[in-house]
Structure 1
């Protein structure tokens, strides 16, 4: 009975800590959590370590605590995305610094793609605020990612032609999606808007499902075919690192 009571007490204390972190208006310091719970520092430290192991809280470089990757995945699947935005911001900013182009984070919502975060290009040409906008999935790099990895069901009706380069044939789209799966990223060159190129890659949750996608976009004058390939390789690396934060691991052949 004593063991059961002790176990229940530990769960209660961990739940209290987690509640303080999740319900706070901003990141919480270790000291503030100790003061608010009234628990010993050693107890708070031990419980926070357990919550970190299970990705329920995350400690950043400055040592403060915020909701962990589990909440980000849940938010993305519910079409909320706010926790996911906070978690992915360092990645988006890093890609922006490397490319100088517009960086977007998108989540699937219904049968559409909604962009929930953006890092602006350093260039005046090609800077558009996409946040909150829903774009047709079949002619955007982000949408192709969700189609390719079956996060969104493939369209059954007529595919809208937005530009002369928009893919409107279902067979052609499926062929393009097969390429996305093979190389790990999607490209949409002047398919959504004339003069606009975008490259996107998937962000995976622990179970391997694609819960979000990251894109780099800019004008055709800057994102040539060769540069699109370079950006694609960068995105594959960065999105894989971000996916690992969300708990996804790549199984290798022969792994138990």
Structure 2
């Protein structure tokens, strides 16, 4: 069972695997690997396509259709949220896009009294939120038509200013809001990708400007990108390799 589970994990996490790569990575004899794969295939846990590649089987599609995948995302993301909380000491949130809104589904509270706000179920204009900017930049949320909703602190950008900001988000891989939702509040967020490169969630770190400087925000942004990339890989995402010039 352990050997079959190891093969299945490799196939599910990678999305597709060749028979040779499975033999090499698991270190089993070809005959043993073939026998285990046939057993997994008979039970609909893996399937073999026309090119001979092994992929997750139809049983996973049945599970996905009957199950709220948000709970799976929460379980996979929790170690990432905890690690970021321990590293920064600030509030860490996980959010998903729903229609035209940002829905925060998990939070690890700040270690400090100042900044320990519960953001779950709090609705804010996406353009004032680092999480919302991530979803706009990666087209997980539709861009609003016409003027943007008024910012709570009266610093509402134009659509052109927002688009310029989103271009910067796409370039560096993380979003920043600096006193755009609340005086003295800064937030940084980065996207979570799935196998097809779509963004299904975002993770943010937020805290007061008294503890997070612009330089701190940039360092947190880089840390977030690394953390969310590792979570994305667990969801089947394959980061694109930088093109060599």
Output the CA distance in 2 between the equivalents of 1:180 and 1:79. 29
Unaligned runs of 5+ in 1: 1-43, 57-67
Q: Could you say what secondary structure the match of 2:12 adopts?
A: coil
Which residue does the alignment assign to 2:12? 55
TM superposition shift of 1:200: 0.2
Output the CA distance in 2 between the equivalents of 1:243 and 1:138. 24
Which residue does the alignment assign to 2:225? 236
The answer on whether the counterparts of 2:127 and 2:133 sit within 8 Å (CA) in structure 1 is yes
Which residue does the alignment assign to 1:150? 139
Output the CA distance in 1 between the equivalents of 2:243 and 2:84. 33
- Cα distance change of structure 1 residues 237 and 49 upon mapping to structure 2, 3 Å threshold: same
Render the CA deviation track for 1:63-118: whole Å, top value 9, x for unaligned. Answer: xxxxx9x89xx69xx98622111111000000000000000000001100000001
Which residue does the alignment assign to 1:5? none
Output the CA distance in 2 between the equivalents of 1:165 and 1:48. 55
TM superposition shift of 1:162: 2.2
Q: Does 1:207 find its partner at 2:201?
A: no
Q: Could you say what secondary structure the match of 1:216 adopts?
A: strand
- Cα distance change of structure 1 residues 134 and 83 upon mapping to structure 2, 3 Å threshold: farther
Regions of 4+ moved over 4 Å: none
Which of 179, 183, 192 is the equivalent residue of 2:181? 192
Which residue does the alignment assign to 1:101? 90
Q: Could you say what secondary structure the match of 1:96 adopts?
A: helix
Which residue does the alignment assign to 2:150? 161
Which residue does the alignment assign to 1:176? 165
Structure possessing the higher relative contact order (Cα contacts under 8 Å, 6 or more residues apart): 2
Q: Could you say what secondary structure the match of 2:96 adopts?
A: strand
Q: Could you say what secondary structure the match of 2:177 adopts?
A: strand
Give TM-score, length-normalised by structure 2.
0.73
Which residue does the alignment assign to 1:114? 103
Give TM-score, length-normalised by structure 1.
0.70
The answer on whether the counterparts of 2:92 and 2:206 sit within 8 Å (CA) in structure 1 is yes
Q: Could you say what secondary structure the match of 2:207 adopts?
A: strand
Render the CA deviation track for 1:181-216: whole Å, top value 9, x for unaligned. Answer: 111100011111111110000010011111100000
- Cα distance change of structure 1 residues 79 and 132 upon mapping to structure 2, 3 Å threshold: farther
TM superposition shift of 1:252: 2.1
Q: CA RMSD in A?
A: 2.4
